[in-house]
Chain A
Amino acid sequence: DAGVIQSPRHEVTEMGQEVTLRCKPISGHNSLFWYRQTMMRGLELLIYFNNNVPIDDSGMPEDRFSAKMPNASFSTLKIQPSEPRDSAVYFCASSRARWIGNSPLHFGNGTRLTVT
């Protein structure tokens, strides 16, 4: 089992540029979550999908953020235009079950985003 795979591991970009983060969940997992981690706010849920359908995007901070899951094995988180305050580590996680009380989360290694 390869685990949850995120790319890139590190991204440095200039303010105003578009940033795309990628995630491949564990095969057979039907829930996918995008989290953001900062020193100030810790881990925060941005959006999650169940069976490729976005269920709750209330954590997405602004319209500059968008996420897609075109199929069961791939998801993207896009920031356009990026701003310095978007600098954080972005984690993707997947789970076999929609209900987090029933199945543990498996996290990717994260993408460290720096916007200058």
Chain B
Amino acid sequence: KNEVEQSPQNLTAQEGEFITINCSYSVGISALHWLQQHPGGGIVSLFMLSSGKKKHGRLIATINIQEKHSSLHITASHPRDSAVYICAVSKGANFGNEKLTFGTGTRLTIIP
């Protein structure tokens, strides 16, 4: 079983819909990262969080440490949000803080 699991693997929605992508992990972590990879291939770090909630524009990321679960929400989705969203965790101090373990990604397609 992968240490980081994402769901769904693929998601297609209409423009304007509220989007939720989930990430569950099975190890102790120091932080969780949400990354965005556009069709051109470039990867952008969206959020890094270790507790609570962060918001940037239409994007919201939450994490529940006790449940080992994080969600990425997109409000008022737009076709330009179409991308692969990747969850990654940096493990606790005992396991090497320097390394990220990646989920397999969620491919989001927003239809106009």
Contact = CB atoms under 8 A, between A and B. Distances in A.
B97 A99 contact: yes
B30 interface: yes
Nearest to A110: B41
Nearest to A58: B99
Contact of B45 (A89, A91, A101, A104): A104
A100 interface: yes
Interface in A72-94: 89, 91, 93
B65 interface: no
Nearest to B48: A104
B98 A109 contact: no
Contact of B43 (A31, A48, A102, A107): A107
The bracket for how many chain A residues form the interface is 20 to 34
Given A42-B104, A42-B105, A100 B41 contact: no
B96 interface: yes
Contacts of B35: 107
Contacts of B85: none
B11 interface: no
A106 B45 contact: yes
A68 interface: no
B27 interface: no
Contacts of B90: 99-101
Interface of A: 31, 42-45, 48, 50, 55-56, 89, 91, 93, 98-107, 109-110, 112
20 contacts: A42-B102, A42-B104, A44-B102, A45-B100, A98-B98, A99-B90, A99-B98, A100-B97, A100-B100, A101-B29, A101-B31, A101-B48, A101-B90, A103-B48, A104-B33, A104-B48, A105-B33, A105-B45, A107-B35, A109-B40
